Structure 1
Amino acid sequence: MELIASGPGTAEAIRERARGALLGLAVGDALGAPAENLKPSEIRRRWGRIEGFVHDDPAGTDDTEYAIFSGLLLARHGSALTVTHVEHAWHHWIADRDEGPFRGAGFSERGTLENLRRGLAAPISAQHRHAWSDGLAMRAAPFGVFAAGAPREAARLVAIDGCVSHEGEGIYGGQAVAAGVAAAMAGAGLASVIAAALSVIPMDSWTARSLRRAVAVADQGERAVRSAVVIGGYPWTDLAPEAVALAFGAFATARGDFTASVLTAVNMGRDADTTAAVAGALAGAYGGAASIPTAWSTRIGPVRGSCLPEMRGHHVLDIADLLTPDPEEGA
């Protein structure tokens, strides 16, 4: 298992970054949810520039609930995770139960559920019209948390999770996020986090090309990042190459600062809950839980099960603790 820099550090440091990653994901998801599918001009007309929660009762979306789903699965099986484990979890926790109000979340999740309920198994279950979506990227951070300092292991594990629901660019997007978080968990610098993400996906993939374009213009600000990667005129905003590139572009534009990373992602619109969730996971792992403003972090409670009823009551901080060593045990 390869390590970034000198390794992930002490159990206490790992726990701090893990909490930052998953709490950052949940904060980004809740901040971005109102701006999902909007253009920057529409965001400006409604709120000016989003600088915080725009509702009195902010809540995350399927992004946080699916990340908890994958985190629980990973906590149970660790590095021994198999496709069979993932398929069983999809059936046990989602497909074989009544659906929540969001009917299984995004298009890729809906297509997967339809296939699983028809008796199809991976990788055939991922053969639907949205296998390239950002549905794996949105739930990839727990794999980077678990494989702190080991981007390739994070990428290997998230691909096992993803093969039930995604293929091609959808898998690459998840791998880039997981690897980037794994590097940040070990205290890697900004350039090394981006390099780790690129190192686990094909150089000529759409995801890699978009990610490189986004970070190349990051110093020019969010408008340049958005122009570099957004597929103008395409009706769906959940393209993994686009969403992942926007998230890394926001992270690079902000130089890893948590507040700026998340708000940059939110104000670029498109699939804003996912791009802000990914940017929040990267920046939260990079800076630790202390880098997240308490005015935001304290508003995050247990998820409501709006999309996945079986996840109701779980908190992202509990998942972070499940995926990392207990600092008390090493004391």
Structure 2
Amino acid sequence: MSVIPYDYEERVYAGVLGKIIGVYLGRPFEGWTHERIMAELGEIHYYVHEQLGKPLIVVDDDISGTLTFLRAMPDYGNSLALTPAQIGQTWLNYLIEKQTVLWWGGMGNSTEHTAYLRLKAGIKAPESGSIKRNGQVVAEQIGAQIFIDGWGMICPGDPELAADLARRAASVSHDGEAIYGAQVIAAMEAQAFFEPRIEALLDTGMSVIPSSSLIYRLIADLRSWRAKYADWRETYARIVEHYGYDKYGGNCHIVPNHALIIMALLYCDDSFSKALSIVNTAGWDTDCNSGNVGCIMGIKNGLAGLEDGPD
């Protein structure tokens, strides 16, 4: 592991704040399409919860899951040999079924609930989250990505370790492309403590997953479209055409939403507030995507970077 940066604690704090800001910014219109957002809210530049008659601060699985599952590390002696089975046991140790942390949507509907029921039945991770056990559609939903930020933040400057820990953690509930998406996010977050350039961070993220994977190809396409189109909306149209929700099954697939995260990073001009504006205006799983983007930008730009918005 590389040397811990002198401002490590502050950068982690900025990453956590960035995630929380992102989640609560996107949560009131989670699941909306870009078209509906533009028709009813316009471009997202600030909190809109009051317009929609919703509270701003609520218990949210995207935040609580990220911090809860990371408890596996201290609970097992902060060992770098931590196994998927131990992380799975941490789920059983901390979750209260149908009450805390997760969206308890039922077997075959909620990926995390499905994995929990597998664990409860004695099926250990990584089989608990495997495609073989749960099917590809269930195993490749978005949850592995949204819960992964903590694993990146405990590996400053060591994206390979972050990606490896992300694989172990994600495999409790997910498989396939969902794990690759989570590994990309964790690796970029680990490297963001030392590397401020988005393109370099994307190089890092792509380096930890197979070049044959769909997530790898998606990121390559996004980078190509960024070079061609100055307006993110043009790239968004390409995402809808090639990687849209109609191409993948389930409630909330990893692939379309990962694409929006990469798009926001590529078009944000190094601005925390612009990155969140783009990823939320684009729609789909807004709180999850915005949370990951906020964490990456928070780590990368630090607390000062959070000041570039309307506040």
TM-score over 0.5 (shorter chain): yes
Distance 1:192 1:103 in 2: 35
Match of 2:168 in 1: 160
Pair 1:220 & 2:226 matched: no
| Contact preservation (8 Å) 2:271, 2:308 | no
Shift of 1:84: 2.9
| Contact preservation (8 Å) 1:8, 1:186 | no
Distance 2:90 2:299 in 1: 26
Shift of 1:66: 1.0
| Contact preservation (8 Å) 1:215, 1:253 | no
Distance 1:176 1:102 in 2: 23
Match of 1:316 in 2: none
Shift of 1:294: 9.0
Match of 2:26 in 1: 32
AA partner of residue 68 (structure 1)? L
Larger RCO of the pair (alpha carbons < 8 Å, separation 6+): 1
Shift of 1:64: 1.0
- Scaled by the length of structure 1, what TM-score is found? 0.80
- 1:141-180 maps to which residues of 2 (within 5 A)? 141-180=149-188
Moved more, 265-274 or 100-109: 100-109
AA partner of residue 231 (structure 2)? G
SS at match of 2:192: helix
- Scaled by the length of structure 2, what TM-score is found? 0.85
Shift of 1:232: 4.6
Shift of 1:191: 1.5
Pair 1:269 & 2:265 matched: no
Pair 1:233 & 2:246 matched: yes
Distance 2:47 2:267 in 1: 21
- 1:85-104 maps to which residues of 2 (within 5 A)? 85-94=86-95, 97-100=97-100, 103-104=103-104
Residues 121 and 76 of structure 1: is their aligned pair in 2 closer, same or farther, counting only changes over 3 Å? closer
Q: How many residues align?
A: 290
Match of 2:85 in 1: 84
| Contact preservation (8 Å) 1:27, 1:296 | no
Moved more, 197-206 or 82-91: 82-91
Residues 8 and 216 of structure 1: is their aligned pair in 2 closer, same or farther, counting only changes over 3 Å? farther
Residues 163 and 232 of structure 1: is their aligned pair in 2 closer, same or farther, counting only changes over 3 Å? closer
Distance 1:228 1:270 in 2: 15
- 1:59-78 maps to which residues of 2 (within 5 A)? 59=57, 61-77=60-76, 78=78
RMSD: 2.4
Match of 1:287 in 2: 301
Shift of 1:240: 1.6
Instruction: State the identity %.
Output: 23
Runs (5+) with no aligned partner, structure 1: 298-331
Distance 1:198 1:257 in 2: 22
Deviation per CA, 1:226-268: give whole Å up to 9, x if none: 2333425256462222222211210111033110111110010
Pair 1:9 & 2:5 matched: yes
Distance 1:81 1:101 in 2: 22
AA partner of residue 9 (structure 1)? P
Match of 1:107 in 2: 110
Match of 1:243 in 2: 257
Match of 1:324 in 2: none
Match of 1:310 in 2: none
Deviation per CA, 1:276-324: give whole Å up to 9, x if none: 1111111111101221249899xxxxxxxxxxxxxxxxxxxxxxxxxxx
Counterpart among 3, 12, 18 of residue 18 in structure 1: 12
SS at match of 1:37: coil
Shift of 1:114: 2.2
Runs (5+) with no aligned partner, structure 2: none
Shift of 1:145: 0.8
Match of 2:215 in 1: 207
| Contact preservation (8 Å) 2:140, 2:254 | yes
Deviation per CA, 1:62-86: give whole Å up to 9, x if none: 1111111133333544324222321
Shift of 1:120: 1.5
Distance 2:100 2:161 in 1: 33
Deviation per CA, 1:155-189: give whole Å up to 9, x if none: 01111111111111111111000001011122342
Match of 1:44 in 2: 38
Distance 2:220 2:246 in 1: 22
AA partner of residue 151 (structure 1)? P
